[in-house]
Structure 1
Amino acid sequence: MSDSHDEIGERLLDAALEHVPFDGWSDTTFRAAIADCAVAPALARALYPRGAVDLALAFHARGDAAMVKRLNETGLDSLRLRDKIAAAVRYRLEAVPDRELVRRGTTLFSLPQHAADGARAVWDTCDLIWTTLGDTAEDYNWYTKRATLAAVYSATLLYWLGDESDGHTATWEFLDRRIDNVMQVEKLKADVNRNPLLKPLLAGPNWLLGHIRAPRRGRMSGLPGKVAARNRA
């Protein structure tokens, strides 16, 4: 019985991971994976039209899936939200079998022609974290939560790539500090909104933000989202 296309795609990705530390996410790696798996080049191109770029994105998606699985299997209900987020980011990084694979990926997605793909991958990771943790935001907070987490995740990822501490303890401490910083900003925003002297100044911005809605699931072309239509008398 022949393998399904999904199975062949997984085999190609597994084979590519053996070459990435030496040749990066490159056409050389893609060709080597095809040869290792004895897959027809046309089929490999059909599965990964952009070659190594799509392989790198598939590798990222595999890590996301492992993170979600671990989150769903781990009892986090008793934790504070900030600790749940810290656990999710940590699980995502711990899903990586070899940091060199990610290091090579950051090189690939730092190229102008692939920067949008890299940004989308990070955004999708942060969206998965919030969704898995049960986020129900339907307004502009849907965007601010993911954008803020993307900044925390990206900074932590870069720190982790250079961290040589035992058990990456320095990275987890760095992550905790970044999340604490974000929580302080959120507290400041809440205090400003409650301040009777400052609240009138925010009426306009808050009105505009109140018309922004989260995207419907499955509608994810470009940066997702929509603006709510104004009620008409």
Structure 2
Amino acid sequence: MHDDVKQNLLDAILPHVAFDGWSPDAFRAAATDAGVTHETARLTCPRGAVDLAVLYHQNGDAAMVAALNDADLSDMRFRDKVAHAIRLRLAAVDDKEAVRRGTTLFALPHMAPEGSKLIWDTADAIWTALGDTSDDINWYTKRATLSGVYGAVVLYWLGDDSLDGQATDAFIDRRIDNVMQFEKVKAGVNNNPLLKPITGPLGRMMGMIKAPNQTPRDDLPGRWVDPT
């Protein structure tokens, strides 16, 4: 029931977001339009419109994962699979202005940790859907790198007025190329015998870092917990 009310509020707030952003005014209007009392709306979304903005992003991630699971990626290079996943994530957006307003919201200093977490979660969803099994430092570096790529792509996409988003497609390919070049350089450094006195001890130290337990934790930076 709680989830249904929250989804109804999200559906109701979207027409208002274009004018009022993810704001208290938009949240109140959504409650009225959805036929939900303001008390119930607040119980469902303690942070008001912020909780609905988070849900909007999470719904997009879920739609992307579903599309990835249905896609035939067997003939794709891995870099192309990642690029395809990013394109599917953008295609999951049914309201570009809601994303634009969300970018403004999560750029606020007190909301930046939440925004960073959402981008990280998108990167994690992509790697997980593509079958990533890393459990060491690579678990973090893959997601950190893809978070940077995805964040840059979204900002570029928001300003893209090219035909059918062709400029964004090209931008995605360039960013993935940059990542692949970095990985080649990293591999070259790690395999260089002249650098073994440095990379050897560093590699052993990095090998001690493990991926987090997959059980959700509530004490991670950027994670907000409903006090109730």
Please indicate the TM-score interval, normalised by the length of the shorter structure. Answer: over 0.9
Q: Partner of 2:142: helix, strand, or coil? A: helix
Change (3 A) 1:223 1:5: closer
For 1:153, which of 150, 155, 167 is the aligned residue? 150
Give CA-to-partner distance per residue, 1:143-202, whole Å, 9 cap, x none.
000000000000111000000001101001001001001101101111111111112221
For 1:113, which of 96, 110, 113 is the aligned residue? 110
Q: Does 1:202 align with 2:199?
A: yes
Q: Percent identity?
A: 56
Q: TM-score, with normalisation over the residues of structure 2?
A: 0.94
Larger RCO, structure (CA 8 Å, separation 6 or more): 2
Q: Could you tell me how far apart the structure 2 residues matched to 1:201 and 1:21 are? A: 53
Counterpart in 2 of 1:104?
101
Q: Could you tell me how far apart the structure 2 residues matched to 1:206 and 1:98 are? A: 44
Q: Which residues of 2 match residues 104-183 of structure 1 at below 5 A? A: 104-183=101-180
Q: Could you tell me how far apart the structure 2 residues matched to 1:223 and 1:24 are? A: 25
Q: In 1, are the aligned partners of 2:60 and 2:89 still within 8 Å (CA)? A: yes
Q: Could you tell me how far apart the structure 2 residues matched to 1:37 and 1:193 are? A: 57
Give the superposed CA RMSD. 1.2
Q: TM-score, with normalisation over the residues of structure 1?
A: 0.92
Counterpart in 2 of 1:222?
220
Counterpart in 1 of 2:48?
51
Give CA-to-partner distance per residue, 1:96-153, whole Å, 9 cap, x none.
1121111100110111111111000000010000001000000000000000000000
Counterpart in 2 of 1:75?
72
**More displaced 10-residue stretch of structure 1: 138-147 or 189-198:** 189-198
**More displaced 10-residue stretch of structure 1: 200-209 or 6-15:** 200-209
Q: Could you tell me how far apart the structure 2 residues matched to 1:203 and 1:196 are? A: 10
Q: State the one-letter code of the partner of 1:101.
A: A
Q: Which runs of 5+ in 2 are unaligned?
A: 223-228
Counterpart in 1 of 2:92?
95
Q: Does 1:18 align with 2:15?
A: yes
Q: Could you tell me how far apart the structure 2 residues matched to 1:162 and 1:12 are? A: 28
Q: Could you tell me how far apart the structure 2 residues matched to 1:223 and 1:35 are? A: 34
Give CA-to-partner distance per residue, 1:25-75, whole Å, 9 cap, x none.
000010000000111212111211100111100000010111011001111
Q: Could you tell me how far apart the structure 1 residues matched to 2:4 and 2:81 are? A: 33
Q: State the one-letter code of the partner of 1:222.
A: L
Q: Partner of 2:194: helix, strand, or coil? A: coil
Q: Could you tell me how far apart the structure 2 residues matched to 1:218 and 1:82 are? A: 29
TM-superposed deviation, 1:205 = 1.5
Count the aligned residue pairs.
221
Q: Could you tell me how far apart the structure 1 residues matched to 2:53 and 2:215 are? A: 22
Counterpart in 2 of 1:228?
none
Q: State the one-letter code of the partner of 1:153.
A: Y
Q: Partner of 2:110: helix, strand, or coil? A: helix
Q: Could you tell me how far apart the structure 1 residues matched to 2:34 and 2:179 are? A: 46
Q: Which runs of 5+ in 1 are unaligned?
A: 225-233
Q: Partner of 1:106: helix, strand, or coil? A: helix
TM-superposed deviation, 1:223 = 5.1
Q: Could you tell me how far apart the structure 2 residues matched to 1:160 and 1:118 are? A: 17
Counterpart in 2 of 1:62?
59
TM-superposed deviation, 1:5 = 2.1
Q: In 1, are the aligned partners of 2:13 and 2:26 still within 8 Å (CA)? A: yes
Q: State the one-letter code of the partner of 1:34.
A: A
